[in-house]
Amino acid sequence: MTEVLPKPNSQLIELTADIVAAYVSNNPVPAGELPGLIAQIHSSISTLGTPATTVEERPTPRMPIKKTVTNGYIISLEDGKKYQTLKRHLGILGLTPEEYRSKWSLPSDYPMVAPGYSARRSELAKQLGLGRKPGEKKPVKKAGRKTKA
């Protein structure tokens, strides 16, 4: 049986030889380590064009996702603390809401603001008249039954 070896690329061999020669001329290398150095440089050069294969492990949350959202606060999966809004907290950590959602495999509609806080802000905005056009009048309150006194 004859073993078939792949045909080496002559440019790759020449480049390896040039790098090894330059390294050996400026650094003391024992003769016994020279073949290992050549093999290491050759393998490093031959893998330069291929994409790196890194497998990203997704972190596992400390608690179930459903329990992180309550009416009054949202629990951060990064540090486990309670926040009314996550956007500023994520900014400090250098994350965007999209990066946070993808990092923890959260759905795209995962809230960044606690529902109760959002409702309070919405009610305050309505009381101040925000969101209405300039010509519109405030909604008239319906008169209720008068009580006999």
Residue 4 inside a domain? The answer is: no
Summarised one tens digit per residue, pLDDT across range 117-135 is 999 999 999 999 888 887 7
- Count of domains forming the chain: 2
- Give the angle subtended at the CA of 77 by the CAs of 74 and 79, to the nearest 5°: 100
84 assigned to some structural domain: yes
In the block, residue with structure tokens 């049986």: 1
Q: Greater confidence, 98 or 138?
A: 98
Q: Residue range 81-86: average pLDDT? A: 96
Higher pLDDT, 8 or 88: 88
- pLDDT at residue 134 in the model: 78
**pLDDT at res. 2:** 62
Within 8 A by CB and 6+ apart from 131, the residues are: 125
Percent of the chain with pLDDT over 90: 54
Assess whether 78 and 106 both reside in one domain: yes
Q: Compute the distance between CA of residue 76 and CA of residue 7 in angstroms, rounded to an integer.
A: 55
Pull the structure tokens for residue 79: 């540090």
Tokens of 57: 């492990």
- The answer to whether residue 30 is domain-embedded is yes
Any idea what the CATH number is for the domain that residue 110 is in?
A: 1.10.10.1550
* 101 located within any domain: yes
**Mean pLDDT estimate for the chain:** 86
pLDDT at 9: 78
Between CA 83 and CA 72 the distance in angstroms is 9
Give the pLDDT band of residue 112 (cuts 50, 70, 90).
very high
Through-space distance between the first and last CA atoms of the chain, rounded to whole angstroms: 113
Q: Which domain holds residue 30?
A: 10-46
Residue 10 has a pLDDT of: 83
The per-residue pLDDT for 122 is 95
- On the question of pLDDT at 138 being above 70, the answer is no
71 domain residue, yes or no:
yes
Please answer whether residues 84 and 73 qualify as being in contact, where contact means their C-beta atoms are separated by less than 8 angstroms: yes
Positive or negative: CA dihedral 113, 116, 120, 122 = positive
Q: Are residues 41 and 77 in the same domain?
A: no
